Amino acid sequence: MNKRHIVRLIKAVNKIEDWLLISMLATMVILAVTQIVYRNFSGGGVAWIDPLLRMLVLWVALSGAVIASRTDNHIRIDFFAKYIGGKYYFHIKRLVHAYCVVICAVIAWYSIKFVQMDYEYETVAFAGVPAWITELIIPVAFGLMALRYFLLFLSPPRSDKR
C-alpha cells in the first residue's frame, strides 16, 4: 500500500466518523423533539427515548473526542507553548503525546473489562438492549485516541504549529 492509498483511506475513515457523528446528533434532536411533542400532546412520552438519549450523549461525546484527536485539537493547556519555544516545545509536545497514549490505552483496557463484566452479567440498558452494546464506544473511542496519539507521537513535528 503506497502513501496515496493510505491518505485516501484516512480521508475515508475521517468522512465516516464525521457522518456518524452528524447522524447521531440529528437522531438526538429528532428524538428529543419527538419526546417533547408526545409529552405535551399525549401526557406521556415514549419510555425508551430518555435512556437512548443519555446513551447517545455518551456516544456523541466520545466520538467528538476521537474526531478532535485526529488533528491534535483535543482539550489542552498550552502552558509550555507560552514559555518554551523552538525544539524544546516539540520535545514537550511529544512527551505529552506519549502520556496521552498511555492514559488512553489504560482507559481502553479497563473499559474493556467493564464491558466484559456487563456482558457476563447480562445487564440491560433499556428496552431489552444489552448494556455492553451501549458501552462499546468507551473502549473503541479510547483505543482509537491511543492509536491517534501514538501516530502523532511518531510523526515528525511540524514547524507551522505552535
At 104-131, the pLDDT tens digits run 999 999 999 999 999 999 999 999 999 9
Count CB neighbours of 142 within 10 A.
24
In a domain, 132, yes or no: yes
In a domain, 34, yes or no: yes
In a domain, 53, yes or no: yes
In a domain, 142, yes or no: yes
Computed from CA positions of residues 151, 154, 160, 162, in that sequence, does the dihedral angle turn out positive or negative?
Answer: positive
Summarize pLDDT for 13-71 with one digit per residue, the tens: 899 999 999 999 999 999 999 999 999 998 888 999 999 999 999 999 999 999 998 87
**Rounded CA gap, 150 and 94, in Å?**
9
The number of distinct structural domains making up the chain is: 1
| Residue 124 phi, psi dihedral angles, 5° rounding | -105, 130
In a domain, 160, yes or no: no
In a domain, 162, yes or no: no
| pTM as predicted | 0.85
**Rounded CA gap, 152 and 93, in Å?**
9
In a domain, 90, yes or no: yes
In a domain, 161, yes or no: no
- Structural contact between residues 127 and 46, judged by C-beta atoms closer than 8 angstroms: no
Structural domain boundaries, residue 130: 3-154
